[in-house]
Structures are given as C-alpha cells and as structure tokens.
Amino acid sequence: RTHDYIMDSADDAVIPTATLAGIEEAFGKIIPNAPFAYQFADAEYAAKFAIEERIGKAATLFAIFAIAISCLGVFGLASFVAEQRTKEIGIRKVVGASVFQLWKLLSTDFLLLVLIACLVASPVAYYALDNWLNQYAYRTSIPWWIFGFAIAGALLLTLIVVSFQTFKAARMNPVDSLRDE
C-alpha cells in the first residue's frame, strides 16, 4: 500500500524546525520505511500560480497604459471639438448661457460615446473573463457590480478629462471667439 500525501497544518507562530521534527517522527511511526519529504503548501501554490501572477501584473500595466492613451485621445478630441465650436460657444455666451450649460453641451456627447462603448465592451469582457475562469477547478463568479464600477469609472474619468477643456472654452472671452481674423 502506497501513500501519496499526508497533509498537516501548523500554526505560523510555531518554529518550523520543531514542527517539522515532530511531523517527521510521527511519519516514521506510521510509514517506517518511506523517506520523509515535505513541501509547504504556500510555496506550491505560489509556484502553481506564478504565471497567472505575471499575467495579472502585465495586464495591469497594459490597462494603465491603455487608459492613459485613451485619456490623451479624449483630451485631444475635446480640444478639437472646443476649437471647432468656438464661435458657437461665443454666441451662446453672448445670449446668456452659463458655464454649466456650456459644459453640459460639450460633455454630453463624450459621455454618451463612452457609455455606448462600455455597454458594448461589457458583454465581451464578461465572456472573456468567464472563459478564463472556466480553466480553474474552484472558480469564482463574476459579480455584476464590477462592470457597474468600471462603467462609472470610465464615465468619471471622461468627465474629468473633458471638463478641463470645456471649462477652458466656456471661460473664454466671447469677443475673442466672435472676432474675424
């Protein structure tokens, strides 16, 4: 009769050498002729999931990079739209539009586009995550609120990036924007 494993748990506060000596002695009494070889479960799990850890770190870096690039793109597009609509903004200011109204006018289009993009990307992300999690024996479910937080974060980030350009354009002197060059 052969034994593959005998598992034991030990308190982290106990000195490992004393614990190992006691386990080795008990093992020798149970299976006298078998060699005593041991491994720590945390080291085994760390080795088993080292690739996933590296993939997670790489994915985090790429996500940060992608978010930074998208923020720069939204900022550039907001600058372009504000520049293209300079005369409209000047006319609206002369007629009495407030900074908030102008901010709402320019920000709504960007928020709508980002919301549509998030709503399209969420099912794709769910499908990809679900397929990735299927490879594990003990998998976790994907909570719906994760996607809600991601959408809220994307909208908030877009609002912050667009607001900078929008407030800059809304505070401009309407005379400068309406003057022909």
C-alpha pair distances (Å), 69 with each of 27, 64, 76, 80, 89: 58, 9, 10, 16, 28
In a domain, 162, yes or no: yes
Residues 60 and 126 grouped into a single domain: yes
Q: Closest by alpha carbon to 162, among 50, 91, 60, 85?
A: 85
In this prediction, residue 60 has a pLDDT band, given cuts at 50, 70 and 90, of very high
Q: Any residues with CB less than 8 A from the CB of 78 and at least 6 apart, and which?
A: 106, 110, 161, 162, 164, 165, 166
Better-scored residue on pLDDT, 120 or 133 = 120
In this prediction, residue 148 has a pLDDT band, given cuts at 50, 70 and 90, of very high
In a domain, 111, yes or no: yes
In this prediction, residue 2 has a pLDDT band, given cuts at 50, 70 and 90, of low
Q: What is the pLDDT of residue 126?
A: 95
In a domain, 144, yes or no: yes
Q: What is the pLDDT of residue 112?
A: 95
Better-scored residue on pLDDT, 100 or 38 = 100
Q: Any residues with CB less than 8 A from the CB of 177 and at least 6 apart, and which?
A: 86, 87, 89, 90
In a domain, 45, yes or no: no
Average pLDDT value for residue range 37-50: 82
Residues 140 and 92 grouped into a single domain: yes
Residues 140 and 172 grouped into a single domain: yes
Q: How far apart are CA 1 and CA 29, in angstroms?
A: 15
Contact by Cβ (8 Å): 150, 115: no
State how many domains the chain has. 2
Domain, as residue range, for 30: 1-38
Q: Is the pLDDT of residue 3 over 60?
A: no
Residues 63 and 33 grouped into a single domain: no
Residues 100 and 171 grouped into a single domain: yes
Structure tokens at 45: 């799990």
In a domain, 44, yes or no: no
The answer to whether the pTM exceeds 0.95 is no
Q: What is the pLDDT of residue 160?
A: 92
In a domain, 46, yes or no: no
Residues 56 and 23 grouped into a single domain: no
In this prediction, residue 14 has a pLDDT band, given cuts at 50, 70 and 90, of low
Contact by Cβ (8 Å): 140, 92: no
pLDDT, tens only, 82-114: 888 888 888 888 888 888 898 898 899 999 999
